[in-house]
Chain A
Amino acid sequence: MSAPLPLLQVSGLTKRFGGFVALDNVDLHVGAGERLGLIGPNGSGKTTMINCISGALFNDMGGIRFDGQDITRMLPHRRARLGVARSFQIPKPFRSMTVLENLRVPLEYAARARAGQRHIIDEAMELLESIGLKHCAQHNSAGLTQVDMRKLELARALAVKPRLLVSDEAMAGLSSAEVDEILEILLALNKRGVAVIMIEHIMRAVMRFSQRIVVLDAGHKIAEGTPDEIVSNPDVERAYLGE
Chain B
Amino acid sequence: MKSAAFWGVLAAILAGGLALTAVLENEYYYNALYLILQATLMAVAWNILGGFTGYVNFGSAAFFAMGAYTTVALNKALGLPLPLLILAGGAVGGLVGFGLGYLTLRLKGVYFAIATLAMAIVIETFISNWTYVGGARGAYMLTPDQHLWFNSYIQMLFMVMLLLTLAAVAISRMLSSSRLGRGLAAIRDDEVAAESAGVPTLRLKLVSTTVMGAMMGVAGAPFPYFVTFVDPVSAFNLFIAVNAIAMPMIGGTGHWIGPVIGALLVGSMQEIVKVTVSSELNVLIVGVMLVVFITLAPQGIVGLVRKHWQRRKS
The chain A residues found within 8 Å of chain B, CB to CB, are 54-56, 75-77, 80-81, 85-86, 88, 92-97, 101, 104-106, 108-112, 156-157, 159-160
Contact = CB atoms under 8 A, between A and B. Distances in A.
B54 to A, nearest CB: 9
Contacts of A80: 195-198
A91 to B, nearest CB: 9
Which of B192, B201, B254 is the most central at the interface, judged by chain A CB atoms within 10 Å of its CB?
Answer: B192
A106 B183 CA distance: 9
A56 B199 contact: no
27 contacts: A54-B196, A55-B195, A55-B196, A75-B195, A77-B196, A77-B198, A77-B200, A77-B201, A80-B195, A88-B193, A92-B190, A92-B192, A94-B185, A94-B186, A94-B189, A94-B190, A96-B185, A97-B182, A105-B183, A105-B186, A105-B194, A106-B197, A109-B199, A112-B198, A156-B197, A157-B196, A160-B196
Contacts of A95: 189-190
Nearest to A94: B189
Given A96-B254, A104-B182, A109 B189 contact: no
Interface residues of B, number: 20
6 shortest interchain CB distances as A-B pairs: A110-B198, A109-B198, A92-B193, A106-B197, A94-B189, A76-B195
Contact of A106 (B185, B192, B198, B202): B198
Contacts of A92: 190, 192-193
Nearest to B197: A106
A94 B199 contact: no
Which of A86, A101, A108 is the most central at the interface, judged by chain B CB atoms within 10 Å of its CB?
Answer: A108
A178 B184 CA distance: 33
Majority DSSP secondary structure for residues of B touching A:
helix
Interface in B31-85: none
Interface in B180-221: 182-183, 185-186, 188-190, 192-202
A113 to B, nearest CB: 9
Nearest to A159: B197
Contacts of B190: 92-95
A94 B188 CA distance: 8
B179 interface: yes
Given A92-B190, A92-B192, A81 B182 contact: no
Nearest to B178: A108
Contact of A105 (B182, B192, B200, B202): B182
B209 to A, nearest CB: 18
Interface of B: 179, 182-183, 185-186, 188-190, 192-202, 254
Contacts of A156: 193, 197
B193 A96 contact: no
Contacts of B200: 75, 77, 109
Contacts of A96: 185, 188-189, 254
B79 to A, nearest CB: 46
A101 B198 CA distance: 15
Contacts of B189: 93-97
A56 B195 contact: yes
A86 B193 CA distance: 9
A118 to B, nearest CB: 15
A94 to B, nearest CB: 4
B142 to A, nearest CB: 48
A25 B197 CA distance: 29
Contacts of A159: 197
Contacts of B183: 105, 108-109
A96 B194 CA distance: 13
Contacts of B195: 55-56, 75-77, 80
A196 to B, nearest CB: 16
Given A54-B196, A93-B193, 19 more contacts: A55-B196, A75-B200, A77-B196, A77-B198, A80-B196, A93-B190, A94-B189, A94-B193, A94-B194, A97-B182, A105-B183, A105-B198, A105-B199, A108-B183, A109-B183, A109-B200, A156-B193, A156-B197, A157-B196
Nearest to A54: B196
B121 to A, nearest CB: 32
B257 to A, nearest CB: 16
A101 B182 contact: yes
A156 B198 CA distance: 11
Nearest to A87: B196
Contacts of A160: 196-198
Nearest to A84: B196
Contacts of A157: 196
A101 B184 CA distance: 13
Nearest to B198: A110
A89 to B, nearest CB: 12
A211 B190 CA distance: 33
A156 B186 CA distance: 12
B192 to A, nearest CB: 6
A182 to B, nearest CB: 19
B198 A81 contact: yes
Contacts of A88: 192-193
A97 B196 contact: no
